[in-house]
Amino acid sequence: MLEFTVRRRDRQTLEIAVQPDASVIVTAPVGATVEAIKAKVRTRAAWILKQQLYFRQFLPRAPEKMFVSGETHLYLGRQYRLRVSTGLKDHVSLTRGFIEVSSTRPKNNDFTRNLLNAWYLQRAHVKYRERLEVALERFAVPEDFRPTGLMIRQLEMRWGSMSPTKRLVLNKRLIQAPVDSIDYVITHELCHIAEPNHGTHFYSFLGRVMPDWPKRKQKLEEILA
C-alpha cells in the first residue's frame, strides 16, 4: 500500500502531488472521508509510482559495495571498516571500529556479502526486539500496542508496516540506522494500531507519543539515503 500524508484545506477538490523526495502529499477538502481519500489514491497508484521512480533517479545513491577489506559499512548509524581474513570457520564480529569477517573463502566477494548480510539479519532480530520493548513504554498502556508478531523483510519502498492483524514488519536494512531512528520507525508503526491511516489524527497521536519524531525521521533519511 502506498504511504501518503494528508493535508486538509478549505477546498472543493482533492489533489495528489509527488514531491522530489518521492513522498506523496494529498491535499483534501476538510470534509473528505478517509475512505474517499484512499480510493482516490488507489485510482492514481500507477501514476504515483511512475512519478516516484522518476524522482528517485535524482536522489543521492551510495556507491555499490564490493565487500572487500577497507570498505566502510554502516551499523546502528556508525561507519565501520570491513576487514576480511582467512579463518578455519566463517564468523562475523564487531571489534574496535571494524566489522571483522573471518572466512573460509576470503577471496570470494559474494560469499563475504552473504556472511555480512546474515550477520546483519541476526543483529536485526536481536536489536529490533530490544527496541520494540523500549518503544512500547512510550504508550500509556503498552500491552494495547504490542504487535501480534514481528517480521523482518527486504522492503523496497518503506521502512516498516503494520498489518490489520497487528503484525509488525520492519525493513532489514534499518539495522544500519541509528537507534533513535529505529525507535522512530517502530513507534510510528505502533501508532497505526490506534490510527491506521496517515491523517491528521495519526500525526497528532505520533507527536504526543514521540514529540521529536521529525528530527529522527530526517536523520534516518540523511544516513540511509
Tens of pLDDT, residue by residue over 182-214, are: 999 999 999 999 999 888 899 999 999 999 999
pTM of the model: 0.74
Predicted confidence at residue 1, as pLDDT, reads 59
C-alpha 42/C-alpha 2 separation (Å) is 8
For residue 15, list its beta bridge partners.
27
One-letter amino acid of 94: L
Cell triple for 93: 564480529
Encode pLDDT of 106-138 as tens digits: 999 999 999 999 999 999 999 999 999 999 999
Same domain for 48 and 76, yes or no, is no
Instruction: List pLDDT tens digits, range 51-104.
Output: 888 777 766 566 688 999 999 999 999 999 999 999 999 999 999 999 999 999
Domain with 207, as residue range(s), is: 72-223
Residues 176 and 208 both lie in one domain: yes
Is residue 66 within 8 A of residue 109, CB to CB? The reply is yes
Report the CATH number that the domain containing residue 205 is assigned in CATH. Answer: 3.30.2010.10
Task: Give yes or no: residues 127 and 45 share one domain.
Answer: no
Question: Could you give the number of structural domains in the chain?
Answer: 2
Q: Does 44 score more than 80 pLDDT?
A: yes
Please, which residues bridge with residue 149 across strands? 167
199/117 same-domain check: yes
Are 32 and 143 part of one and the same domain? no
Let me know whether 144 and 50 are in one domain.
no
Tell whether the model's pLDDT for residue 156 goes beyond 80: no
Same domain, yes or no, for 77 and 10? Answer: no
Specify whether 92 is located in the same domain as 195: yes
Provide the edge-to-edge strand list for the sheet that holds 78-86.
72-75, 78-86, 98-103, 91-95
For residue 170, being part of any structural domain is answered with: yes
Please report the pLDDT score of residue 70 as a whole number.
95
DSSP 38-80: HHHHHHTHHHHHHHHHHHHTTS--PPPP---TT-EEEETTEEE
Mean pLDDT of 32-56: 88
Asked if residue 93 and residue 17 are part of one domain, the reply reads no
Predicted confidence (pLDDT) at residue 162 exceeds the cutoff of 90: yes
Domain identity same for 217 and 121: yes
pLDDT of 225 higher than 70? no
Q: Are residues 182 and 112 in the same domain?
A: yes
For residues 22 and 125, membership in a common domain is answered with no
Helix-strand-coil split of the chain, %, nearest 5:
40, 25, 35
Residue 150, beta-bridge partner list: 168
Spatial separation of the C-alpha atoms in residues 39 and 86, rounded to whole Å: 56
